[in-house]
Amino acid sequence: MEKAAHQYNGKKELPDSIFHGHKELATKIRLWHQQGEKCLYTGKNIPIADLIENQYKYEIDHILPLSLSFDDSLANKVLVLATANQEKGQRTPFQALDGMDASWSYREFKSYVKASKALSNKKKDYLLNEEEINKIEVKQKFIERNLVDTRYSSRVVLNALQDFYKLNNFDTKISVVRGQFTSQLRRKWRIDKSRETYHHHAIDALIIAASSQLRLWKKRNNPLISYKDTQFVDSETGEIITLTDDEYKELVYRAPYDHFVDILGSKKFEDSILFSYQVDSKYNRKISDATIYATRKAKLGKDKSEETYVLGKIKDIYTQTGYDAFIKLYKKDKSKFLMYQKDPLTFEKVIEEILKTYPDREQNENGKEVACNPFEKYRQENGPIQKYSKKGKGPEIKSLKYYDNKLGNHIDITPANSENQVILQSLSPWRTDVYFNPETEKYELLGLKYADLQFEKGTGNYSITLDKYYEIKEKEGVSKQSEFKFTLHKNDLLLIKDTKTKEQQMFRFLSRTMPNQKHYVELKPYDKGNFEGKEKIKVFVTTSNGRCLKGLGKADLSIYKVQTDVLGNKRFIKKEGDAPKLEF
């Protein structure tokens, strides 16, 4: 647009007034720039003022007829003189150019298109197509390419459904349509696609379903059915059937039912959409991440006695990322570095001396101040950093270890001959058992991890032992008098009611979280992937940073587990058994 504005009025922007009443001017200007300011059918230059001020002098043409290509995207469009467009008709440039008045030759056209760096490869393929488009095999190829989804996965599903209907003697024809085609319907019907929530999946499904009812398919030359039966001629006359672009648009873009588009865009319809999620209740998944962590005992900061800490590691202090991690921890608490505790001479006389001597900011070639790495500056001048020694021949230093966090939930994999614990962290949550305490009238939650399950000796059954379960129950603060209500897995749905305010909201359960806080869970929204920042919610007021971490052990809450069928129809459950399942 800036180029067009500069040529038109010498400014950076075009005036808004030129777009009023000038249909598709923005697209015309985009094509004008893409085509090198030329009419591709005549080779004549298009002055920008002429394009803007003479609305009907130039038209947007489909390179290949819509009835053949089924492609209404920019890749199949060109800006041309209206007279040239009328003369070209329903032909390809290869078929038309050499016979048109006031046109450059096809050879000149072909050379220009090939040399263009602004035209996409797909558009070049359309422009330089030299096939006889009225031949049956050519039509079949275009349908395969642009309308029918021929990906292997789609073909497998298609064949399975076709086999099912054939086996059950149903007279049903099935085809797989490309997303490009339904996307065109969306644009023409002006149905916005918002990915903020999951509603767009339902709308897409309805558009796909409605596409089978378009007027185009009512004609005898249904391209989808014809593709299946390889019939592309009128069964009555024997003639090859062609459609003009206007006829195609009327047959395709006219909604199949009255008020269909209005209904899809209505708030009432959006509110009626139901959601069904795949609940992840599988119990034999990986128990933790694969990283092995070392530990050390230390007394740091406010520790009253020695604690076991998990070690972290800065792998390469010479990278900018490595230095940034170092200086962040150094400024916060340098005593967390093992070197500070175990080798103070090296830390003071080597590491800290480098920090005093070499800067961490410098000017680049443009005179702008940027970050740099003092350790790397030292290495460039003196070679690798070495540990302190009187003779200056200490071991090289590339990485630094530090006390990261106190040891929490973990799996101990310490070898028999090791002085320090070796562990696995990030234990994956599996399920949460929900209890209700009748004395306090509050819910209590017990979180189980995949690591809590084991194979029983002798039987080979996969289970959690009763002793282990009671141990976790006590640790999680679930009272002996509390009554079991139901079990929750990832993607189970919850209805949470505030009995005091009467507010209620549906949530999607993620996991029991924050192990140091009793009865906390992480919840996801019912109709989308994540919450947004500090989003207002009905029961807990707001979320924080897009996450809903909330305690359910509060008064005045009533919680229902919500089961859905595949269509999203809900069943509300207050209690699903007398005791949790411990064997599988």
pLDDT band at 146 (very low <50, low <70, confident <90, very high): low
Question: Residue 74: phi, psi to the nearest 5?
Answer: -65, -25
pLDDT computed for residue 191 by the predictor? 83
Distance between CA atoms of 284 and 461, rounded to whole angstroms?
A: 12
pLDDT confidence band for 279 (50 / 70 / 90): very high
Token digits for 141? 């190829």
Structure tokens at 422: 């070796």
pLDDT at 84: 93
More confident residue, 417 or 347: 347
Say if residue 224's pLDDT is above 60.
Answer: no
Q: What is the pLDDT of residue 228?
A: 39
Q: How far apart are CA 189 and CA 315, in angstroms?
A: 55
Residue 219 has pLDDT above 60, yes or no: no
pLDDT in tens, 25-36: 999 999 999 999
The two tokens of residue 55 are 């609305």
pTM to 2 decimal places: 0.63
How far apart, in Å, do the first and last CA atoms of the chain sit? 65
Give yes or no for a contact between 483 and 435, defined as CB atoms under 8 angstroms apart.
Answer: yes
The phi and psi torsions of 38 (rounded to 5 degrees) equal -120, 155
Beta-carbon neighbour count of residue 272 at 10 Å?
9
How high does pLDDT run on average in the chain?
86
Give the pLDDT confidence score for residue 419 in this predicted structure.
83
Residue 268 to residue 488: CA distance in whole angstroms: 31
Structure confidence by residue, pLDDT tens digits, 520-545: 999 999 999 999 989 999 998 888 88
Amino acid occupying residue 558:
S
> What's the whole-number mean pLDDT along residues 415-443?
88
Range in 139-148, 220-229, 262-271, 308-317 the model is least confident about:
220-229
The confidence band for 241, taking pLDDT boundaries of 50, 70 and 90, is: low
Of 232, 235, 259, the closest CA to residue 243 belongs to: 232
Q: Is pLDDT of 149 > 60?
A: no
For the residues 185-204, what does the mean pLDDT come to?
85
**pLDDT value at 416 more than 90:** no
Q: What is the pLDDT of residue 258?
A: 83
Instruction: Tell me how far apart the alpha carbons of residues 368 and 321 are, in angstroms, rounded to a whole number.
Output: 20
How much is the average pLDDT of 76-87?
Answer: 93
Q: In this model, does residue 234 exceed pLDDT 80?
A: no
Residue 450 CA to residue 429 CA, distance in Å, equals: 6
Tokens of 182: 């339904």
- Rounded Cα distance, 270 and 259, in Å: 15
pLDDT at 180 over 60: yes
Name which residue leads in pLDDT, 172 or 333.
Answer: 333
Partners of residue 402 on adjacent β-strands:
312, 337
- Compare 427 and 357 and report the one with higher pLDDT: 357
Among the residue ranges 168-172, 211-215, 298-302, 353-357, the one predicted with the least confidence is: 211-215
Predicted local confidence at residue 79, as pLDDT: 95
Amino acid at position 255, single letter? A
At residue 310, what are phi and psi to the nearest 5 degrees? -80, 135
DSSP string, 417-471: T-SS-EEE--PPEEEEEEEEETTTTEEEEEEEEGGG-EEPTTT--EE--HHHHHH
How far is it, in rounded angstroms, from Cα 363 to Cα 294?
40
216 vs 13: which has the higher pLDDT:
13
Could you tell me which residues come within 8 angstroms of residue 167 by beta carbon, excluding any fewer than 6 positions away? Answer: none
Beta bridge partners, 38, equal 45
Give CA–CA dist 309/504, Å, rounded: 43
Contacts (Cβ under 8 Å, ≥6 apart) of 115:
none
Across 197-342, the runs of DSSP E, i.e. the strands, are: 292-298, 307-314
**What share of the chain has pLDDT > 70, as a percent?**
92
Domain boundaries, the chain: 2-133, 295-405, 429-573
Q: Following DSSP, what letter does each residue of 68-116 receive, concatenated?
A: HH---SGGGEEEEEHHHHHHHTTS-HHHHGGGSTT---HHHHHHHHHH-
Whether the CB-CB separation of 249 and 243 falls below 8 Å is answered with no
